[in-house]
């Protein structure tokens, strides 16, 4: 049991990668931080593949050595497979970016997320698990705290100059404020499970993330994990997967396995284990990243289709950026108004928009990465920058001009910037 009080420097709602990173780094700087987490860790979560540039937030957290010493498979590349089983030339990260970050990991999220939450505790943050944020406390237009309900403590009011919503796809604050905007095109559903003993490719490709195409621009993910396990799932339109022939998740999954030769071959050696899971209505953005006394991080800010494994990267990135902005304001005794987060909002918006363009291209039936990179090695290099997460301060104008010749790209949206609440 933590030493409990009702006022903190910062209250973080959510103990996932975004919230734990923010809390860990702020506590390390000496700030009084409380993290509220509705579940008991370790807990299950999908999204096991890390982008290479996750390395730098993890380095800030002092966790790279722990991952280096772990049994998590090393991820050196992303590879794409056509429906007929033809494997493209993998995008090897180290061929483009000569740095230790070019080797990343495939992780069990239950272990990975707990590692970061434990780091927040080690750094001095208070953590209340099995505790739900019920509502925001507001005075006029400023957020001043939250009403929480704890398994052990019941319902209490907590105050802080800043509340950080890192509640994941629950989008605690955004739902309260009615900020959520669904992406008009990226309305996919995912169906996934796990296999033991499934085939792994040799050498450097053993830990690769594989994206395998389905008819109609759906796709399989294939992510090797420790313990001889593989995470494998389908992302496609709801009407395609659930086409009326059956509602049984296992039958739908096994039906689609037959539609990609590479997936069929790799799973044939393994045994399906555990349940089949489903989630839908993937992509959304929230209108604002901050108002006075409130800032959003990770999936609580927005969620993008998972085809390029950007979720954990954007969560960690937002956590580091938020922690730095908040630390700076607290040290200057500045009020934690929306204006403190203007730079944060612009940088996160830019990163999300960059990844969103590539996702749109991927789903365009006329587009192929092979056709794109044939136009020049410089385009392959720019695309690889996006795939590794090297999206800050980069000029992707030529890449997107070439992409727009082959695919219909989205117009940028202004969601995710600050909102002055006064």
Domain ranges of the chain: 10-65+108-182+284-349, 76-104+188-280, 350-418
- Whether 269 contacts 120, CB under 8 Å: no
Pick the closest to residue 124 from 217, 24, 223, 205 (CA basis). Answer: 24
Tokens of 67: 């991952």
Which DSSP letter does residue 54 get? G
φ and ψ at residue 239, rounded to 5 degrees: -70, -25
pLDDT of residue 281: 62
Tokens of 32: 């009084």
CA 333 to chain centre: 32
Cα separation, 397 vs 406, whole angstroms: 15
Other Cβ atoms less than 10 A from the Cβ of 157: the count is: 14
Other Cβ atoms less than 10 A from the Cβ of 362: the count is: 19
Tokens of 190: 């995912």
Residue with tokens 């290479």: 52
Please provide the CATH number assigned to the domain covering 10-65+108-182+284-349: 3.50.50.60
Architecture label for domain 76-104+188-280: 2-Layer Sandwich (3.30)
10-65+108-182+284-349 and 76-104+188-280 in the same fold: no
Strands (E), 281-345: 284-286, 288-291, 294-296, 302-303
| Series of mean pLDDT values for 10-residue runs along the chain (422 residues) | 79 98 98 97 97 97 97 95 87 91 96 98 97 95 95 92 96 90 88 98 95 88 98 93 90 95 96 94 87 96 91 97 97 95 94 94 89 92 93 93 95 79 42
């Amino acid at each position: 049991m933590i030493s409990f009080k009702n006022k903190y420097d910062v209250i973080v709602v959510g103990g996932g990668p975004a919230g734990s990173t923010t809390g860990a780094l702020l506590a390390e700087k000496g700030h009084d931080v409380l993290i509220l987490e509705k579940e008991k860790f370790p807990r299950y979560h999908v999204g096991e593949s890390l982008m290479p540039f996750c390395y730098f937030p993890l380095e800030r957290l002092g966790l790279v050595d722990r991952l280096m010493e772990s049994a998590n498979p090393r991820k050196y590349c992303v590879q794409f497979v056509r429906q007929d089983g033809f494997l493209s030339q993998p995008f090897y990260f180290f061929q483009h970016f000569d740095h230790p970050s070019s080797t990343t990991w495939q992780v069990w999220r239950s272990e990975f997320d707990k590692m970061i939450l434990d780091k927040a505790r080690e750094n001095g943050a208070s953590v209340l698990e099995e505790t739900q944020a019920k509502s925001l406390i507001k005075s006029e237009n400023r957020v001043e705290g939250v009403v929480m309900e704890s398994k052990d403590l019941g319902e209490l009011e907590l105050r802080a100059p800043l509340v950080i919503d890192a509640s994941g796809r629950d989008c605690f604050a955004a739902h309260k404020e009615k900020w959520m905007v669904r992406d008009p095109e990226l309305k996919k559903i995912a169906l996934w499970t796990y296999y033991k003993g499934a085939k792994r490719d040799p050498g450097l490709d053993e830990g690769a993330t594989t994206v395998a195409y389905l008819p109609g621009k759906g796709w399989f993910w294939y992510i090797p994990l420790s313990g001889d396990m593989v995470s494998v799932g389908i992302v496609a339109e709801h009407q395609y997967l659930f086409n009326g022939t059956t509602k049984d998740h296992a039958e739908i999954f096994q039906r689609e396995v037959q539609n990609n030769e590479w997936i069929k071959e790799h799973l044939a050696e393994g045994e399906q284990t555990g349940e089949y899971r489903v989630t839908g209505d993937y992509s959304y953005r929230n209108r604002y990243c901050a108002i006075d006394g409130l800032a959003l991080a990770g999936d609580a800010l927005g969620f993008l289709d998972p085809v390029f494994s950007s979720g954990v990267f954007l969560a960690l990135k937002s956590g580091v950026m938020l922690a730095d902005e908040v630390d700076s304001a607290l040290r200057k005794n500045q009020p934690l108004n929306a204006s403190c987060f203007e730079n944060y909002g612009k940088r996160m918006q830019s990163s999300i928009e960059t990844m969103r363009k590539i996702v749109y291209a991927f789903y365009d039936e006329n587009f192929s990465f092979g056709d794109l990179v044939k136009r020049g090695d410089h385009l392959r290099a720019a695309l690889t920058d996006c795939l590794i997460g090297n999206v800050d301060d980069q000029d992707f104008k030529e890449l997107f001009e070439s992409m727009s010749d082959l695919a219909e790209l989205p117009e940028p949206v202004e969601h995710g910037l600050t909102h002055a609440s006064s």
